[in-house]
Homo-oligomer: A and B are copies of this chain.
Amino acid sequence: MQIEPIAYIYTDFPEKFGIPRQAGRVPELFGKIIFEPKFRKPEALRGITEFSHLWLIFDFSESHRKIWSPTVRPPRLGGNQRVGVFASRSPFRPNPIGLSCVKLEAVQNQTELLVSGIDLLNHTPILDIKPYLPYTDSQTKAFGSYGEMHKNDKLFVHFPENLLVQIPEQKQKALLACLADDPRPSYQHDPNRIYYLQYANFELQFQVSGKNLYVIDLQKNPDCNDTNQ
């Protein structure tokens, strides 16, 4: 079966590190979906604003592998326990197809979708967009296992004011929420380690000690185009 991108999403994450582990964890994170020319038709979106949420089906374009592994090690289990790939949302799957529920904020310029609660890399190819239908998609009695773990563990973020003000104001809250959500792999706990996170054309450096995250430096990437078209 041959499929092609219908659109690309533009987000503040040029790299995987720092992206929330699931959609909706950071409601303040926005993305803009721009359709490919052949699918850029206002009528293809007719009625879409009557839905509050959308499904994005996308290509895990940075996770293509020639060989598939039947098991994966979810970060949430500490990275050292293996579960079946079909019991995980890992990007490394036989068909590298991803699924995210996002909030529809607005239709812009008749053909662009502004969405929030994203968990996607900048320029991720979108394969399909569907309305979220609460009566069939919201399984209020469903239960999951390790996906639930740590979901309320938050770090206390220390972000020096002189550094924070360099980030555009409308992007500060989302960044703080991503940091509080603890972007580290679960198995890394070295307080001396310096982590580098790319966000909205900035490179951030931070360290984590216990429940505290300390931002120690911030640099603007001079040679980078603005990813938020």
**Chain A residues at the B interface, C-beta cutoff of 8 Å:** 1-6, 22-25, 39, 41, 43-48, 50-55, 57, 59, 68, 70-71, 82-89, 93-95, 97, 99, 101, 125, 127-148, 151
Contact = CB atoms under 8 A, between A and B. Distances in A.
B133 A94 contact: no
A189 B85 CA distance: 47
B71 A133 contact: no
Given A84-B44, A132-B144, A135-B151, A94 B39 contact: yes
A86 to B, nearest CB: 4
A200 B22 CA distance: 39
A150 to B, nearest CB: 11
B128 A94 contact: yes
Given A47-B84, A139-B53, A134 B145 contact: no
A12 to B, nearest CB: 20
B142 A138 contact: yes
Given A50-B87, A138-B140, 17 more contacts: A1-B2, A4-B95, A24-B139, A25-B136, A44-B71, A45-B87, A53-B139, A57-B99, A86-B130, A99-B130, A131-B147, A132-B139, A132-B142, A133-B147, A134-B143, A134-B147, A135-B151
